[in-house]
Amino acid sequence: MKHTSVLLALPLVLLLGVPSTLSQTTTTDPKAPAAGANSFTEAQAKDRIEKAGYRSVTGLRKDDQGIWRATATKGDAQVNVSLDFRGNVATQ
């Protein structure tokens, strides 16, 4: 009976885990940043960059390719960071 309960609970656990995975922003596509129509507001872009582990985000601006670019700090290093329309955060 325990085995059946575990099998029934597994889909629920997987389903509940999907939304939290989709809301995370730390995944970076090796091809990022990709140009495209970016619908993130400035506040959303800053929030996504910070959630990816960066702090002290300054100079945030969207370029003519739809990529948000800024300077930020990660660890002890100051880096150039970008956010593309897919939500990928990358450093240059």
Domain that holds residue 53: 2-91
Tens-place pLDDT, residues 8-20: 554 544 444 433 3
Q: What's 32's DSSP letter?
A: P
| pLDDT for residue 4 | 52
Q: Between 24 and 86, name the one with better pLDDT.
A: 86
For residues 60 and 69, the answer to whether their CB atoms sit within 8 Å is yes
Helix (H) or strand (E) holding 8: helix 2-23
Collapsing DSSP to helix, strand or coil, 80 comes out as strand
Rounded to an integer, the average pLDDT of 74-86 is 96
Rounded to an integer, the average pLDDT of 85-92 is 92
Q: Please tell me the total count of domains within the chain.
A: 1
Q: Given a cut of 70, is residue 92 above it in pLDDT?
A: yes
Tens-place pLDDT, residues 22-36: 333 445 567 778 888
Q: How many CA atoms lie within 13 A of 1 on its CB side?
A: 0
The sign one gets for the Cα dihedral 75, 77, 83, 86 is: negative
Q: Given a cut of 70, is residue 21 above it in pLDDT?
A: no
Rounded to the nearest integer, the mean pLDDT of the chain is 79
Angle at alpha carbon of residue 22, lines to 18 and 28, rounded to 5°: 135
pTM over 0.75? The answer is no
